[in-house]
Structure 1
Amino acid sequence: MKALLPVSPTAVRAPDVPEAPVVLGDTPEPEPHDDELVLAVEAYSVNRGETFQLDGRLDRPWPGWRPGKDVAGTVIRAAADGTGPAVGARVVAHPPASGWAERVAVPTTHTAELPDSIDVVTAAALPLAGITALRLLRAAGPVAGRRLLLTGASGGVGHYVTELAASSGAAVTAVSASAERGARLLELGAVELVTSVEQATGPYDVVLESVGGTSLRTALTRLAPGGLLVWFGQAGGAPVTLDFFDFFKGPRQARIAHFDYTLSDASYGDDLATLVRLVSAGRLHPEIGTVRDWSRTADVIAELRNRQVRGNAILTVG
């Protein structure tokens, strides 16, 4: 079958071969375990973390790894153990990897069935960003009536967090690199949009920080006494350096928590079903910045690296 195969960041290329992190090639058909179904992939989403793994900023999880954690399509082979959706069911899924392909094996516990009202392009925008947003807000605790600062807000996770938090009663201040990229966040319920964390005045009960570098240090000073900063990413690429004495300059009894969405639960099916229900009810609106044929995946990755895509980038498999 056809799949997008990762290219080593150190690969030697011929002068006439353009630089690209993935190439379309042939790979064996998936061999599912008893608790896995096989999905004919119709659409997938590209996540920033996958771009970091492709360019070497993050380690690839295992030899032979292929990218692809957010997919939607039709079940063509049900799980041998009798669990999960039947053949012909339309599903959204969150496999561990290898979803940028014509077909992929997925644990049935990592899937949710789709109603007719949700197309595969919308569904493919849900898994990683949506699950991360749900679990981030659980880590933050009750947000009704609380002031919340969200950095790096114009990506897929940021749009979901903004809409979910605002609908739960939080007063969300969103940080976006430009007013244009962040305009949609105001429509989704943010009470304030700023273009740098330095412009955020606070104090905030909760900070959700995903940029890294100096952004985290500055955001820490914006916390209210006893406030919580949840660190969930380093999209800016610069490492964070903190001096313990910074806490004495900032709020009293401030807390910092590291967040990893994979540690919350080994199964993603329930959260996927929640996201599907919210979208179907008109209570959650995936922000899709671009939709392309999967032959344009390398172009989309370049645009994501240059922050030219607002929200999710979706590729369709013809």
Structure 2
Amino acid sequence: MKAALPGPDGKPVLLGEAAEPVPAEDELVVAVEAYSVNRGETLQLDGVLGRPRPDWRPGKDVAGRVVRAAADGSGPAVGTRVVAHPPAYGWAERVAVPTRSVAELPDSIDSVTAAALPLAGITALRLLRAAGPVAARRVLLTGASGGVGHYLTELAAASGAAVTAVSASPGRGARLLELGAVEVVTSAARARGPFEIVLESVGGPSLAAALARTAPGGLLVWFGQAGGAPVTLDFFDFFKGPAQARIAHFDYTASGADYGDDLAALVRLVAGGRLHPEIGSVRDWSRTADVIADLRGRRVRGNAVLTVG
């Protein structure tokens, strides 16, 4: 079968031949119709997150149709339209996925829309759980113009939070106001605190500025370092405002590798008109390398989706 294969030493991803998936007893096989590219996958390709094993291929967000049901009888039947979150290998014509990481799709949600849901949507849901109740609380969200940020903004605002979103580009941040943000600023340093909850994904000086705007006893959840710069914090800065504030590291996988329930919740929200995936780029999968370059250059608002024809 055809698959998007990572080139050696950071070379562009190219279409080539790969072995057919061999599913485990609790895995089904999906014929992929669309997949999403995430910034974390570009970091893996760059080696920032450590070199994957030699046979590794990217692909954690897919939508398509079941062509082989799980041998243990779990999961949807052959022919069912699904959205899925495999551990990897999804940038291909077919991929094996654990049935616990699959949700069925209604006819009202097309594959392009569905492919934008898994990693970004699951991360947003689990971040909000980590943050705790957000109703009537002031929330600061950095790096808000990516896929996770759009979902977080809409979900938090719908829950009653007053969200201040940070987007370095005003144009990229305009959609966040439509999704419920009360304000969009170009840096954490320009945000008017204090904030009971801070969701920080940029790192470097952004985290320090966000912490300075955290309310006493507030919570800063650190879920990324998209800016690439390491963070330097001064212990004594906590005495200048955010006394007894907490910093929590966040990894969406830490709360379990069963993603089906979260995927089903995202599907229900989209089908009910309560969640609106922001898809900034849709291209044929032969353009995967171009999309990766655009993501690295921060030229995509929301999610980037590739269609498999």
Number of residue equivalences: 309
Aligned to 2:150: 159
In structure 2, list runs of 5 or more residues that go unmatched.
Answer: none
Query: Identity rate of aligned residues, in percent?
Result: 81
Secondary structure of 1:104's partner? strand
Q: Is the 8 A contact 1:149 1:208 kept in 2?
A: yes
Q: CA deviation digits over 1:202-245, x for unaligned, max 9? A: 10000000000010011000011100000000001111122222
CA distance in 1, matches of 2:53, 2:3: 17
Aligned to 2:112: 121
Q: Is the 8 A contact 1:8 1:54 kept in 2?
A: no
Q: CA deviation digits over 1:38-77, x for unaligned, max 9? A: 0000000000000011112221343311000000000000
Answering whether residue 241 of structure 2 is matched by residue 241 of structure 1, we say no
Secondary structure of 1:252's partner? coil
Q: CA RMSD in A?
A: 0.9
Answering whether residue 69 of structure 2 is matched by residue 105 of structure 1, we say no
CA distance in 2, matches of 1:128, 1:87: 24
CA distance in 1, matches of 2:121, 2:14: 28
CA distance in 2, matches of 1:242, 1:64: 39
CA distance in 2, matches of 1:114, 1:236: 35
CA distance in 2, matches of 1:6, 1:301: 11
CA distance in 2, matches of 1:213, 1:112: 37
AA partner of residue 4 (structure 1): A
AA partner of residue 94 (structure 1): H
Answering whether residue 10 of structure 2 is matched by residue 24 of structure 1, we say no
Secondary structure of 2:235's partner? coil
Aligned to 2:287: 296
Q: CA deviation digits over 1:117-146, x for unaligned, max 9? A: 000000000000000000000000000000
Answering whether residue 73 of structure 2 is matched by residue 77 of structure 1, we say no
Q: Is the 8 A contact 1:220 1:250 kept in 2?
A: no
AA partner of residue 161 (structure 1): L
AA partner of residue 188 (structure 1): L
Secondary structure of 1:131's partner? helix
Q: Is the 8 A contact 1:21 1:54 kept in 2?
A: no
AA partner of residue 198 (structure 1): A
The correspondence for 1:57, drawn from 19, 36, 48, is 48
Q: Is the 8 A contact 1:175 1:193 kept in 2?
A: yes
AA partner of residue 96 (structure 1): P
Aligned to 2:296: 305
Shift of 1:247: 1.6
CA distance in 1, matches of 2:230, 2:53: 24
AA partner of residue 103 (structure 1): R
Aligned to 2:244: 253
AA partner of residue 100 (structure 1): W
Shift of 1:300: 0.5
CA distance in 2, matches of 1:219, 1:144: 20
Answering whether residue 104 of structure 2 is matched by residue 150 of structure 1, we say no
Shift of 1:9: 2.1
CA distance in 2, matches of 1:234, 1:272: 25
Aligned to 1:15: none
Q: Which runs of 4+ in 1 moved over 3 A?
A: none
Q: What TM-score, normalized to structure 2?
A: 0.99
Answering whether residue 203 of structure 2 is matched by residue 190 of structure 1, we say no
The correspondence for 2:271, drawn from 270, 276, 280, is 280
Secondary structure of 1:284's partner? coil
Aligned to 1:6: 6
Q: What TM-score, normalized to structure 1?
A: 0.96
CA distance in 2, matches of 1:110, 1:63: 24
Aligned to 1:265: 256
In structure 1, list runs of 5 or more residues that go unmatched.
Answer: 11-19
CA distance in 2, matches of 1:243, 1:8: 40
CA distance in 1, matches of 2:86, 2:44: 16
